[in-house]
A and B are shown apart, each in its own frame.
Chain A
Amino acid sequence: MFKRLLVAAFVCCALMAQANAADQCYATRGMHVTLFGGVDDPDVLVWDSRDRLIAYGAGSMDTRQFLLPHAMLNAPGTRATVESCIANVVHSKFRTDPGDAIGVLITSGRYRGRYGWVSSSDIRGNGIPEAQEPW
């Protein structure tokens, strides 16, 4: 009985944590967004898996080069629809604030109809604040 209660409590906690994480995402499922990178290079890389997106964010240059075959380079302005969002999981070597991993369905451009993962700093849309780009 105690074991069941313990498992139930753990599941509740996990769900609550998940709910909290989801709550912190600005992008919500079904939201229409536009892909746009930084001013330095507005193209956007869309990754075929969430793990590669996270690995790319945290990785060295070599790692990034290694991961490249798994990315789709989208022109700025490519439209997409948000399918899912996981908050604060994309860490960068030089960034203190982590970004969200956003699952999108690309709805225009060369990769239209493809699913992928993109960092929250690379999307624009209603209700989504612009990534703070100093340049």
Chain B
Amino acid sequence: MRLPRLPRPVLRGAGTLTATAILAFALIIAVTGAVITRKAINVSFAEQTRIERAQLTLERMLKIQLDEENYVRAYVITRDPSEIDSYRATGAQFVGERNTLLQILQQERLTDALGALEDYDMAHTDWHQQVADQMLRRPGRGVRELEKRGKTLIDSQSDAARFIEERLDAKNREVLASTQAQIDSTLYQRMVWLILFALAAILLNGWRSRLTTELEDERLTTQTLQRAFQSEHAPLPNCRIGSAYGAASSHLAVGGDVFDVHQLSDRLGLIIIADVSGKGVDAAVLTAFIKFTIRGIALRRRDPGFILQEFNRAFPRTVENPYLFVSMFVGILDTWTLRLDYASAGHDIAFMRRGNEVEQLAVTGPVLGVMEEPFDVKTLYLDDGDLIVLSTDGLTESRDLDGNLLDAAGAMQWIAEESSDPVNLAPRLIERARERSHTMRDDIAVLAIAVQRATAVSTTTRTETGSAEESAPAVADV
């Protein structure tokens, strides 16, 4: 029987990681895209603002030129010196405006417009020197020629100004188109990414749903197997038996805990509790394997050490999974003499309560599936009212809210505190473990057996009629 190890939890973990990575990546893309777009828009707005400022500056320069002309003409006509003052004051503003425009054109790297501005500036200076100053110095003399000269210079300025204006308009259109293209590009990129992410998310979600369904199916299967194979006990003479099984929280896979009480003969009973490492279907199937294999071996020879040794020999050959091992307690109880022979393969959650004293039953060998070694057998002579309590490690490994383990000492304390009736004790231990942990991370199986000495008549009768093997169970063979 080869039991394949299922990689689904690993896959599920990887799926969660991938989904998280995809979402994180999508978030980064979305945020980065928004930041880039915002930056591009800001840059565009700043550039547009500069261009508009340049256009207004150019307009003011032309207005200054017109004002200067008007002041000069007014002086020629009126000879009013205040016109000269106004002319000079207006002219002083021109330099500031020209510098502003020059700076913006340099920022925008409009070299041809810079050339035009140079021509404009030169024509303006020439107009001052060759026309305006001449007219102010000698008003009324050679006006016609001066006007002609002024006309050419102003034409030059107009041409240059028109050219600068055209270049600014073109630049503005270019900036708008570039911004629009960048926004469109970012938008399309984000749309494509989002569509890809949405598709990936849909696929991933479907995959995860399928995995979850499979896991749930597996769990249901495992629970069904567990219900079918484990956790039952037959009544034994002179014994009161209580048992309980506490399943781990529902989102966790089921464990491989098993116990069994089986009557081998009129007076002998087989007691088993075992804990398979691992969880899921593998462990659940193994519980059935353990239960019936142990029963089969016990029918051949009622020696707990032999039973464990035989099982230990068969286990690795059957399971062929080097990572699986089993801790197990096997006891043969003579219900007439109350002698218990037991062997424990690494299963230390076994206790005997006598009165209010609780004693831990010693381990007699290593866990099964690790190495082939003989197992010691220990014998207990029980008294009337003695209680044997067996459990799986879910009990001792239950943690409180601070993460502290209950441990064997805590379990012994609980056993001592609880009722001596095994039917009440077993479920109470699980209840207390559940209260302690809130979330049970492992299954717990508890088997409690209280022995009662048989009446003298019956004991005698049975002793007399009993076979030789039954009077000495630890060494008997079938």
Binding site for B on A (CB under 8 A): 37-38, 40-41, 43, 45, 56, 61, 64-65, 68, 71, 73, 92-96, 134-135
C-alpha gap A20/B155 in the complex (Å) = 30
Cβ of A94 and Cβ of B59 under 8 Å apart?
A: no
Indicate whether B109 reaches chain A with its CB closer than 8 angstroms: no
A41-B154, A73-B151, A95-B162 known; 4 new pairs, CB 8 Å cut-off, are A45-B155, A61-B126, A64-B155, A96-B166
C-alpha gap A56/B151 in the complex (Å) = 12
C-alpha gap A56/B62 in the complex (Å) = 22
C-alpha gap A135/B166 in the complex (Å) = 12
Residues of A within 8 A of B39 (CB): none
CB of B422 to closest CB in A, whole Å: 106
Cβ of A43 and Cβ of B147 under 8 Å apart?
A: yes
CB of A134 to closest CB in B, whole Å: 6
Residues of B within 8 A of A45 (CB): 148, 151-152, 155
Cβ of A65 and Cβ of B149 under 8 Å apart?
A: yes
Which of B62, B126, B163, B166 has a CB less than 8 Å from the CB of A40?
B62
Cβ of A73 and Cβ of B62 under 8 Å apart?
A: no
B window 173-225: CB within 8 A of A: none
Question: Top 6 nearest A-B pairs by Cβ distance?
Answer: A94-B163, A64-B152, A41-B154, A94-B159, A73-B148, A40-B158
Residues of A within 8 A of B147 (CB): 43, 73
Cβ of A65 and Cβ of B157 under 8 Å apart?
A: no
Indicate whether B160 reaches chain A with its CB closer than 8 angstroms: yes
Residue in chain B with minimal CB distance to A72 = B148
Which of B119, B126, B151, B159 has a CB less than 8 Å from the CB of A95?
B159
CB of B71 to closest CB in A, whole Å: 15
C-alpha gap A93/B162 in the complex (Å) = 11
Residues of B within 8 A of A92 (CB): 159
Number of interface residues of B (CB under 8 A): 31
CB of A77 to closest CB in B, whole Å: 15
Which of B144, B150, B159, B166 has a CB less than 8 Å from the CB of A93?
B159
Cβ of A41 and Cβ of B62 under 8 Å apart?
A: no
Which of A43, A93, A94, A134 has a CB less than 8 Å from the CB of B151?
A43
Residues of B within 8 A of A68 (CB): 145, 148-149, 152
Indicate whether B330 reaches chain A with its CB closer than 8 angstroms: no
Residues of B within 8 A of A41 (CB): 69, 150-151, 154-155, 158
Residues of B within 8 A of A64 (CB): 152, 155-156
Residues of A within 8 A of B65 (CB): 40
Cβ of A61 and Cβ of B150 under 8 Å apart?
A: no
Residues of B within 8 A of A71 (CB): 148
Binding site for A on B (CB under 8 A): 59, 62, 65-66, 69, 116, 119, 122-123, 126, 144-145, 147-163, 165-166
Which of A56, A61, A65, A95 has a CB less than 8 Å from the CB of B163?
A95
Residues of B within 8 A of A96 (CB): 166
Residue in chain B with minimal CB distance to A45 = B151
A-B contact pairs, 21 of them (CB 8 A): A38-B158, A40-B157, A41-B158, A43-B147, A45-B148, A45-B152, A61-B119, A61-B123, A61-B152, A64-B156, A68-B148, A68-B149, A73-B147, A93-B159, A93-B163, A94-B159, A94-B160, A95-B163, A135-B59, A135-B62, A135-B158
Residues of A within 8 A of B119 (CB): 61, 93-94
Which of A38, A73, A134, A135 has a CB less than 8 Å from the CB of B144?
A73
Residue in chain A with minimal CB distance to B65 = A40
Residue in chain B with minimal CB distance to A92 = B159
CB of B149 to closest CB in A, whole Å: 6
CB of A63 to closest CB in B, whole Å: 9
Residues of B within 8 A of A135 (CB): 59, 62, 158, 161
CB of B171 to closest CB in A, whole Å: 15
Residues of A within 8 A of B157 (CB): 40
C-alpha gap A135/B156 in the complex (Å) = 15
C-alpha gap A94/B156 in the complex (Å) = 9
CB of A82 to closest CB in B, whole Å: 22
C-alpha gap A90/B144 in the complex (Å) = 25
C-alpha gap A96/B161 in the complex (Å) = 14
C-alpha gap A37/B159 in the complex (Å) = 12
CB of B89 to closest CB in A, whole Å: 21
CB of A38 to closest CB in B, whole Å: 5
C-alpha gap A134/B66 in the complex (Å) = 15
C-alpha gap A16/B126 in the complex (Å) = 45
Residue in chain A with minimal CB distance to B163 = A94
Which of A92, A93, A94, A134 has the largest number of chain B CB atoms within 10 A? A94
Residues of B within 8 A of A73 (CB): 144, 147-148, 151
Residues of A within 8 A of B154 (CB): 40-41
Residues of A within 8 A of B62 (CB): 40, 135
Cβ of A134 and Cβ of B165 under 8 Å apart?
A: yes
C-alpha gap A10/B6 in the complex (Å) = 93
Residue in chain A with minimal CB distance to B123 = A61
CB of B56 to closest CB in A, whole Å: 13
Residues of A within 8 A of B151 (CB): 37, 41, 43, 45, 73
Which of A38, A61, A95 has the largest number of chain B CB atoms within 10 A? A61
Residue in chain A with minimal CB distance to B148 = A73
Residue in chain B with minimal CB distance to A73 = B148
CB of B52 to closest CB in A, whole Å: 15
Residues of B within 8 A of A37 (CB): 151, 155
Residue in chain A with minimal CB distance to B126 = A61
CB of B327 to closest CB in A, whole Å: 95
Residue in chain B with minimal CB distance to A38 = B158
C-alpha gap A111/B149 in the complex (Å) = 18
Cβ of A61 and Cβ of B153 under 8 Å apart?
A: yes
CB of B90 to closest CB in A, whole Å: 15
